[in-house]
Amino acid sequence: MTFAGRRRQGGPEPGAALGRTHWVFSAGFAPSQSTGSEPEFTSRNTLCLLNTGDDDACLQLMIYYQDQEPVGPFEVTVPARWVLHQRINDLIDPQAVLLDAPYGMVLSSDLPVVAQLYYLDSRGGHLAVSHLNPLPLD
């Protein structure tokens, strides 16, 4: 099902890809330590992607670190009309993203997507959660 039946005057076209093509954030930090049962309580940084369009979106991610050159591009595909909650720890090609290290990311997509960050930190023996919006560049 696409946008049919819910379009409002001045609103997005049915099947339109909503959002932006370039996003960037600086506050990445994925702890290596966790407590509690896996995988739901595993400390993580999750890149939450939504592709509302009728075509798959191809993304390229560059990772920036505090004391070394950037690494990438990592490639991620978000299927048409789906969300994808991508754990940063699962990005391993061309190189696993470093844990316990400050990082930033530049995301470039061939089609507009919506990108948000979800943080879960269970190091302290319980759950701490946070959300963050990356900066849209276009």
Rounding to the nearest 10 degrees, give the CA dihedral for residues 59, 113, 32, 66.
70
- Please, which residue, 21 or 89, has the CB nearer to a second copy? 21
Binders of a second copy among residues 33 to 92 (CB under 8 A) are 36, 40-41, 46, 48-50, 52, 60, 62, 64-67, 69-73, 81-85
Q: Is 28 in the site for a second copy (CB under 8 A)?
A: yes
Is 98 a binding residue for a second copy by CB under 8 A? The answer is no
Which residue lies nearer to a second copy by CB, 88 or 115?
A: 115
Q: CA-to-CA distance for 116 and 118, rounded, in angstroms?
A: 7
Q: Is the dihedral of CA 117, 74, 78, 51 positive or negative?
A: positive
Give the number of residues in contact with a second copy, rule: CB under 8 A. 77
Nearest distance in Å: CB 93, a second copy: 14
In the bound state with a second copy, the residue whose beta carbon lies nearer, of 20 and 89, is 20
In 3D, which of 76, 78, 82 has the Cα closest to residue 63?
76
Hey, what are 111's tokens?
A: 């089609």
